Structures are given as structure tokens and as C-alpha cells.
Amino acid sequence: MFTTLVFWVAAPLALVMAVGTVVARKVVHSAICLCGMMVALGALYATLEAPFLFVAQILVYTGSIVMLFLFTMMLIGIDTQETLVETIRGQRVASGIAIGALLLLLVLAVGNAIAGGFGTLEDDNAHYSGNAQGLAVLIFTKYVFAFEAAAALVLTAALAAMVLAHTERRSPKVRQRESAAARIRRYAESGTSPAPEAGPGVYARANSIAYPALLPDGSIAGGSVSPTLLGRGDAVLNAETLPALVTEAAAEIAGELPVLTTSAQASSAGDPAATTVSVEPAPDDAEGGAR
């Protein structure tokens, strides 16, 4: 009875989470949904007298595999957003038809495969004095060669991952001295300020990193918002909200600053850095992200 309850809770959850994995627009959401699906699946394993797999599912899948996905996303940038417009003509329709047919066939075939009900694993588990012990006995006796092969596979995969992810350094390592020299040279050549860029939220009403820093004249300081946030569209750069923010900020410090300009005036003054926020990451930032 309890297993039925768990099934009816976990199975729809798993399905919903699976659908979420597929349809979520953001990759992180997909990963989270996948995580939930794994946990629900683990619960289903528990109802199927597989306590070891229940634990392994949660540990291995949610604990390591999904984490690997997340690490990867952190490495290669969460900001790459997928356009959901299909590029291959007829792919979705065809996929729908094919998957529908396959599901129908699977349900017809597999869904009716078992005439009787469940057996029980209690005898086996009792024989090996426990589910994990039973699996262990099987793995180290009957399936020992498969186990060794799997071990070799995992080892190879680890090596392969290292080889694939590793890149040789092709340029000399940039140390502090070199980067400082480069910064000053950049200043001399193009006038880029050698000072560190402003952090987010400076002079902002909110301290969220999504809010850009404002310059003394009230315009937005370029580069003060993480390119990742910009790429995700999470930066608060709306044309409607910003002028108000700037105005409010200006009002709060009105007494301290003798000259007050609005952002509108700033834009009319024609300072390009003030009105256009670099949506694309700066070149060096992009490189850093790729590495």
C-alpha cells in the first residue's frame, strides 16, 4: 500500500521533471529538473526492493553526474542562451510523429509484457543477508569480468577527459608585472582607465550585482555588470527603470554634489560610454571565460 502511494507520488513527479528537463529554456533549470527526476526515480527504485540502487542513484546521479553537468555549464558559460527557433525544417513534426509511434509501440509491447505480478526479492536478500551484500556477491563473482571491464572503462574515461580538457599553454604566462604594464600601455594608447572597473551596485539603490554602477554624472559605468548576467539578460538595464534609478540616486546625494545632471542630459551630451552598455563581453573577458 505504501509502495503504491510512493509510486503514485514519485512516478508523476519523475515524468513532470523529465518534461521539465526537456522544455526548460535555461540549462540550469534543465539540470535541476534532471536532478529532481533522478531523486523521484530513486524513490521508485526503493519501492522495487532496490535499496542499494536507491542510494546509488541519488549519490551517483544527483551527487556526481548532475554536478558534472553544472560544473561544465559554469566552465563554458551559462550565458549562452539557446534560441528555441527550430532550424531544421520539419524536425519537430517528424520527431513528434516518430516519438509518438515509438511510445505507442513501447506501451503496447512493454506495457503488456508482464502477465503476472511482481515476485519478491526477499529470499535473495535474505540469502545474502542484505541487498547490497547480494549485489556485491553477484558483482564480484558472476559479473566480475564485467566489473573489471567497467573499471577499465571508467579509468579510461577519466584519462580521456583529462586529455580532452587539457590544453597546452601557447603563450607565456601573464604575471602581475606584465598585466600592469599592459594596463598602463592600454591607457597610453586608447585612454582606457588603468584603475579597476567599478563594482556593481556602486551608487545604486540596490546592492544586487544585477544593478550597474553609476558614474559621478549619473551615467552607467560600462563593465560594472558581470558579462554573464548581461548575457543571461538578468542585468537591470531597462530603459524605463534606469533613468528613474539614476534620478533617485541623484536625489539622495543632491546635497553633496554641486552639479546634477540627469541621464537624459548625459545621453544628450553624447558620451557614448554613458548610453551604450556593452552587451557583448569585453574581449579579454570572453577569452577568460573560454579558458
Partner 1 sequence: MGGGMFLLETGLSGMTWVVIALPIFAAALLLLLGEVADGWGHWVGVLGIALPFGYAVALFLTMLREPAAVTVDLYTWLRIGAVDVGVTLLIDQLSILFTLLVTGVGALVAIYSIGYLAHDPGRRRFFGFINLFIAAMLLLVLADNYVLLFLGWEGVGLASYLLIGFWQQREAAALAAKKAFLMNRFADLGFITAIAVLFAKAGSVRFSEVAAPLNEAGGPWAGIVAVALLLAACGKSAQVPLQSWLLDAMEGPTPVSALIHAATMVSAGVYLMLRSLPLYELVPAVQVAVAVIGVLTLFVGAWIGAAGRDMKRVLAGSTMSQVGYLMLAAGLGPVGAVFAVFHLLTHGVFKADLFLSVGAVTESVGFGELRRLGGLVKVIPWVFAAFTCGYLAIIGVPFLAGFYSKEHIISAAWDASPVLGGCAIIGAGLTAGYMTRLLLLTFVGAARWTELADADAAVAAAEVDSDAPSTPEVHHAPASMGFPLVVLSLLSLGGGLALNGWLQGWLGPVFGVELAPTGLLHFDWLSYTTLGVVLLGVVVAVLRYRKVTPEWFDSWQLVSPPLPAVVDTVASESEVEDSEEVAVHSVDLAAIGAAGLYADALIDRAAVAPVAALTESVAWAERRVIRDGTDASWRAMGWVSALSRRLQNGSIRTYALLLTAGTAVALLSMLIWVWM
Partner 2 sequence: MSPNAYLIVSAALFCIGLAGVLIRRNAVVMFMCVELMLNAANLALVTFSKVHSELDGQVAAFFTMVVAAAEVVVGLAIIITIFRSKASLSIDDARRMRH
Give me the residue label for grid cell 553537468.
Answer: 69
Say which entry of partner 1, partner 2, none residue 118 contacts (CB below 5 to 8 A, set by partner kind). Answer: partner 2
Say which entry of partner 2, partner 1, none residue 61 contacts (CB below 5 to 8 A, set by partner kind). Answer: partner 2
The answer to whether residue 153 forms part of the interface with partner 1 (CB under 8 A) is no
Name which position in 106, 146, 154, 174 contacts partner 1 (CB under 8 A): 106
Give me the residue label for grid cell 552587451.
Answer: 279
The answer to whether residue 23 forms part of the interface with partner 1 (CB under 8 A) is no
Measured from the CB atom, the residue of 170 and 175 that comes closer to partner 2 is 170
Measured from the CB atom, the residue of 94 and 152 that comes closer to partner 1 is 94
Name which position in 1, 85, 109, 195 contacts partner 1 (CB under 8 A): 109
> Contacts with partner 1 in 46-105 (CB under 8 A)?
88, 91, 94-95, 98-99, 101-102, 105
Give me the residue label for grid cell 579509468.
Answer: 155
At 220 the three-state DSSP class reads strand
- Give residues with Cβ within 8 angstroms of 26, minimum separation 6: 78, 81, 232
Say which entry of partner 2, partner 1, none residue 82 contacts (CB below 5 to 8 A, set by partner kind). Answer: partner 2
Round to the nearest angstrom and report the end-to-end CA distance of the chain. 54
Q: How far apart are CA 132 and CA 121, in angstroms?
A: 12
> Contacts with partner 2 in 127-146 (CB under 8 A)?
128, 131, 134-135, 138-139, 142-143, 146
Q: What is the dihedral of CA 82, 86, 92, 94, to 10 degrees?
A: -130
User: Among 240, 244, 253, 245, which residue's Cα sits nearest to residue 208?
Assistant: 245
Q: How far apart are CA 97 and CA 252, in angstroms?
A: 61
Region from 106-114, 140-148, 192-200, 214-222 binding partner 1, contact rule CB under 8 A: 106-114
Total residues in contact with partner 2, by rule CB under 8 A? 88
The answer to whether residue 102 forms part of the interface with partner 2 (CB under 8 A) is yes
Measured from the CB atom, the residue of 116 and 191 that comes closer to partner 2 is 116
CB atoms inside a 10 Å sphere around CB 232: 17
User: Among 95, 85, 81, 88, which residue's Cα sits nearest to residue 30?
Assistant: 81
> Contacts with partner 2 in 63-92 (CB under 8 A)?
64-65, 68-69, 72-73, 75-76, 80, 82, 86-88, 91-92
Q: Quote the distance between the C-alpha of residue 101 and its chain's center.
A: 32
User: Among 16, 30, 128, 20, which residue's Cα sits nearest to residue 73?
Assistant: 30
Measured from the CB atom, the residue of 53 and 274 that comes closer to partner 2 is 53
The answer to whether residue 107 forms part of the interface with partner 1 (CB under 8 A) is no
Q: How far apart are CA 207 and CA 213, in angstroms?
A: 10
Name which position in 36, 39, 43, 45 contacts partner 2 (CB under 8 A): 45
3-state SS, one letter per residue, for 224-239: CCCHHHHHHCCCCCCC
Measured from the CB atom, the residue of 114 and 162 that comes closer to partner 1 is 114
The answer to whether residue 184 forms part of the interface with partner 1 (CB under 8 A) is no
Say which entry of partner 2, partner 1, none residue 15 contacts (CB below 5 to 8 A, set by partner kind). Answer: partner 2
Q: How far apart are CA 106 and CA 120, in angstroms?
A: 25
Contacts with partner 1 by CB under 8 A lie at 88, 91, 94-95, 98-99, 101-102, 105-106, 108-109
